[in-house]
Chain A
Amino acid sequence: MKEQGCARRWEVEAVRDGRLDGAALTHHERHLQSCADCSRERRMFEKMQRAAVDSAPKQNELALRRLRQSLLEQAHSGDPTPRRRPWARVLAIAATMLLVFGVVWRVAERRPDPPTSPAASVQVAAVGAADWSQFSTSRGHRVVLRSGTLDVAVTRRPVDAGLVVQLPDGELEDIGTVFRVSVRDGRTEAIDVREGAVSFRRHRGAAIQIGAGERWRAEPSRAQPAPTSDLPAAMSPPRKPSAVAASAKPPNTASDDAAAGREEDEAYLRVLALVREGRAAEARLAARDYLKRFPSGFRRSEVERIAR
């Protein structure tokens, strides 16, 4: 049978825990004077508290003194304060630096690997018998073609290093390209570009940019030939210093002379056309382009005036 007590008995514990204050506390104190059940409850709590206090283990004064002595000795010798441990800070700094160096070294070490991996972005296939080799450097992938014909397909992102085909008489750099290059008797014989463009830099002479659909063939006379296109000339897209980026060296043959002369004429006429149309800024740019391409051109003095 359950004991029926005062309904406000819970207040005794609430008071001890500090959960009652103000008017509620005053009200409880008044109630306590008249409620035997709550008074008994309070006495029980006080008894438990007294018993817990009284039953506390007695302190051994000698043990306390011994502990004090030990504490002060350890505090004095051990220097447990962080500010008194400069080696800990030095150690932390050294560890941090080591970590930073480790990360930097790791990043630096890994950087050249993926973009220039030949398996990932460069496919080279010999057409028939060819003497060639390839290797990777920190600046990109290089293919050395000594003789024969290679089909090359390069797929790369703009941030990747490019492919360079080293030729006996120069080098070929791709610009996102599928092309074929042939070498015979120690000189480049032909370049066919199917996609993208290549820049052909010969040891002697200016660079030539060859675009998609264009072919380049070596002249029998070893003169600098111009690229030709499968497309009609009118349909070919305009190229900047491209088509033939003009030669700084004087041509060796009459045909070269004529070609160079035609190009100079075209460049000069273009400048004049722009001037006549009143497009001064574009004319100035075209004039500068003429001076750059034909530093000793026939109309140099006149074009210099326009370029200024």
Chain B
Amino acid sequence: MTLEVLQLRAPPVTDALLLGRIAEGGLGALGELYDRHAPALLTFVRRTASRPDAEDIVQATFLRVISLAAGYDTSCSSAKPWLFGIAVRITRERRRAVSRLVSFLAELGSRPPPPSRQAEGARVDVENALARLSEAKRSVFLLAEVEGFSCQEVASILGVPVGTVWTRLHHARIELRRHFEETP
């Protein structure tokens, strides 16, 4: 009974609290933050960056969290948009790097032939449709429609005006709609 009361009264460990501990050097808090957000982050990064890079980018994101934790705005209830923002920046940095070319060439050699629509299921169809979008439109669509961020949050994550987010989202939907209208 007493234990239950204590558990009820214990304040929830928020992301802000975890980041405060990380800033003080608590690696346990880093593990907890990872458990909360890494799956969604990895899913998103896998669909915007090349598959071999995705895990590296997620790892780099959490490593960067250690140095950025002290500057986290504690008024934000969830660190998810903040983490996605870091991941997007790292993805862009990697794209700019020369290693991207090396990675691309390596991937090119081992890339399987594009699956035919008849042979693959609906999941691959959607992935192909998403893959045909530009990186900017794909990121906006995934963040807004899959991850559930508001357009303002997406704008903040990507560092673009919210009007740009609306425009990209609109065009992404038009392109995807064609695919869905063709598919029974």
Contact = CB atoms under 8 A, between A and B. Distances in A.
A71 B150 contact: no
B169 A44 contact: no
B126 A72 contact: no
A260 B173 CA distance: 109
A159 to B, nearest CB: 50
Contact of B66 (A54, A56, A80): A80
A48 B59 contact: no
B67 A13 contact: no
19 contacts: A13-B170, A18-B152, A19-B151, A44-B180, A47-B180, A52-B146, A53-B146, A55-B130, A56-B146, A57-B46, A57-B47, A59-B39, A64-B38, A67-B58, A68-B34, A71-B34, A72-B30, A75-B63, A80-B63
B145 A17 contact: no
10 closest Cβ contacts across the A-B interface?
A: A55-B126, A55-B123, A49-B145, A51-B126, A56-B43, A81-B66, A52-B146, A80-B66, A17-B151, A80-B63
A26 interface: no
Contact of B38 (A17, A51, A68, A78): A68
Interface residues of A, number: 32
A71 B63 contact: yes
Interface string A59-85: 100011001101110111010111010
A48 B177 contact: yes
A56 B47 contact: yes
**Mostly helix, strand, loop or mixed at chain B's interface?**
helix
B27 interface: yes
Interface of A: 13, 17-19, 44-45, 47-49, 51-57, 59, 63-64, 67-68, 70-72, 74-76, 78, 80-82, 84
Contacts of A48: 145, 173, 176-177, 180
B67 to A, nearest CB: 5
Given A47-B180, A57-B47, A72-B27, A52 B142 contact: yes
Contacts of B62: 71, 75
Contacts of B63: 71, 74-75, 78, 80
A237 B166 CA distance: 87
Contacts of A45: 173
Interface string B29-42: 01100110011001
B93 interface: no
